[in-house]
Structure 1
């Protein structure tokens, strides 16, 4: 069996490049500029003072974020507290640089409230240290909350995996037992396929290439084809080469299992299971289609496999991937969408 790509844990700096974080940084900068322009002791035009202060604050904020982004590879091994010290140092340094540039370019044109440029530098340093420490405290609380959410999601995924393993193994063993009694000459082929499937099921939560997951699906369908015979017809369509996108192990196989358990198994004449894989510029689309009894999708079951596939794919892709189901005429269709930038 192929080895799975290494999973990547989230890093504290990753949260800074999100659109919501950038918007909040800009809004917080504008809020600080408003507070400073409305503070007592401003004896100049407050609107002009606000505009210049806003420009300075935004330059300091953007330069600090840019510095952290440029140094992200060097900062990656640091702890959260070490990152906080580095970010605070960059914030103070950029404040001095922007204030120095303003003093050099504007000179006496800058609307001084009182005192000299030296006093302004000192006041700006105290303000930046105060605001920076408050911002870092807020960011640390946000990051701890995010880590708790990630751990909770990991626990949920592990619980789902623990539920799907016995569900999958029980159904597969039933298939094997039925086949051994009916067609013992196929037993060796069955055991080899079962060995691969068991190995994947018992390996625990991990990521594998979509190509390897589809290989497991083929093994499962081979086992079911031996049991159902002519009642099961498989129509498989996929491109010659699949992009190296990753999926959680045993996330597609339960969808194919549902197509047989709740579709083919309850049709006296059987039917065809269609597995179609198509690719676009940025997405891989996998469709699994099966006929259903006239009364609708028979035996709804506990939907363990479907729920686990949906939650695990959404977690792996950060919500950009999806598992959707629909009843279209007399066929039940499960559609899996995977963004290509989840490649390992």
Structure 2
């Protein structure tokens, strides 16, 4: 698995656009910056050598009219192999060196530059190989033979380069479409969460605020601060945040609801120490949305005090958050309704989009308690 850098490092000012949550998304974003992949990302070294050998054999067969015996044919294959290897190595490493410059250019312009680089390198390397063959007596120099060989091979390499660029461009467009679809899906899921958070919560908070303005102005001011922090986070878009920030958002939310629910709610936290939480991340409002549903479907329907326990562990590269609520004794109606209302499909999809398909949010309802578990992979940067 990839060793992630710490959250603070990845989200510092110079790395503010970096993501540490999902490897696939990070790789997709990196590839979209410049559609030509790196040399070793295309094939392994032995695959390159095998491909170059067959390419050299193909060129030698195409140019067989200039071969008079088997020895010259073998020499021509070796010469093509050396020339192709030098061309590809010099071209791809030059392209990698210019990658930061190419990222700022349009695709068509980059394609022209790449075609020019590979073509020029082909001419230079072929010239060097022909000069070496002349010195060893493997190639008899005539101006026509020398020029025709260079022109012939340059046209072939340019043609195959154009074909390769068209293939890469098609894959780039497919990845772009995939990224746009991915962003639209996340945006739609985020809009659903906003719509679920806003209506009931907004009106309940306004009513609480109106009553506090007259009876307890200082507490009303505190409530406004909590509301501001929570709504600012909910409209910041789909993203991963530090776990400490998510806990702070949950505390803002609980502080607001505890004013309205009075003594009907008791929440206890079991969190890792600060050094462990320092590198933990989660998608924004994932934990908050679970707590919110528990309050809506359990606490608000009960006349008794409801105890909610939140336990967070991070072991063996997996984060497990267990949110359990003890159901009140008069919970017959609640027990039947909870199975239908405790659904976290949208939240789980958002979690999978950032942390992979092994992420999930599951709820289990018994006649005594409801337990919701948020489970997703996150490698420990300290390992």
* TM-score, structure 2 normalization: 0.67
1:23 shift after superposition:
5.3
- Look up the match of 1:74: 101
Distance 1:88 1:62 in 2: 15
Cα distance change on mapping 1:180 and 1:223 into 2, 3 Å: same
| Structure 1 residue 253 corresponds to structure 2 residue 288 | yes
Aligned partner (choices 291, 309, 334) of residue 350 of structure 2 = 309
- Look up the match of 1:337: 377
Distance 2:210 2:243 in 1: 34
Question: Which has the larger displacement, 97-106 or 174-183?
Answer: 174-183
Q: How does 1:64-143 map to 2 (within 5 A)?
A: 64-107=91-134, 108=136, 116-143=145-172
1:16 shift after superposition:
0.8
1:247 shift after superposition:
5.7
Question: Which has the larger displacement, 231-240 or 297-306?
Answer: 297-306
1:83 shift after superposition:
0.8
Aligned partner (choices 18, 21, 34) of residue 13 of structure 1 = 34
Aligned partner (choices 194, 197, 204) of residue 230 of structure 2 = 197
Distance 2:55 2:129 in 1: 18
Structure 1 contact 262–298 (Cα < 8 Å) conserved: no
After superposition, give the CA deviation of every residue in 1:49-99 in whole Å (9 maximum; x if it has no partner).
556534533432232221111122222221111111111111112223332
- Look up the match of 2:188: 159
Distance 1:193 1:73 in 2: 43
Distance 1:18 1:243 in 2: 36
Distance 1:263 1:31 in 2: 69
| Structure 1 residue 39 corresponds to structure 2 residue 75 | no
* TM-score, structure 1 normalization: 0.73
Distance 1:181 1:86 in 2: 65
- Look up the match of 1:214: 247
Structure 2 contact 35–168 (Cα < 8 Å) conserved: no
- Look up the match of 1:238: 272
Distance 1:168 1:55 in 2: 65
Structure 2 contact 130–139 (Cα < 8 Å) conserved: no
After superposition, give the CA deviation of every residue in 1:98-138 in whole Å (9 maximum; x if it has no partner).
324433545447689x9844432222211111111111122
Distance 2:38 2:107 in 1: 16
After superposition, give the CA deviation of every residue in 1:165-211 in whole Å (9 maximum; x if it has no partner).
11122353476479679997665543331222122223444565554
Residue-pair matches, total = 331
| Structure 1 residue 168 corresponds to structure 2 residue 197 | yes
After superposition, give the CA deviation of every residue in 1:190-233 in whole Å (9 maximum; x if it has no partner).
33312221222234445655543332122123334453746433
Distance 2:287 2:36 in 1: 30
**Where does structure 2 lack aligned partners over 5 or more consecutive residues?**
1-10, 19-28, 328-334
**Where does structure 1 lack aligned partners over 5 or more consecutive residues?**
none
Aligned partner (choices 164, 167, 177) of residue 148 of structure 1 = 177
Give the structure with higher Rg (CA).
Answer: 2
| CA RMSD in angstroms, aligned pairs only | 4.5
Structure 1 contact 259–289 (Cα < 8 Å) conserved: no
Distance 1:60 1:263 in 2: 69
RCO higher in 1 or 2 (8 Å CA, sep ≥ 6)?
Answer: 2
1:305 shift after superposition:
4.2
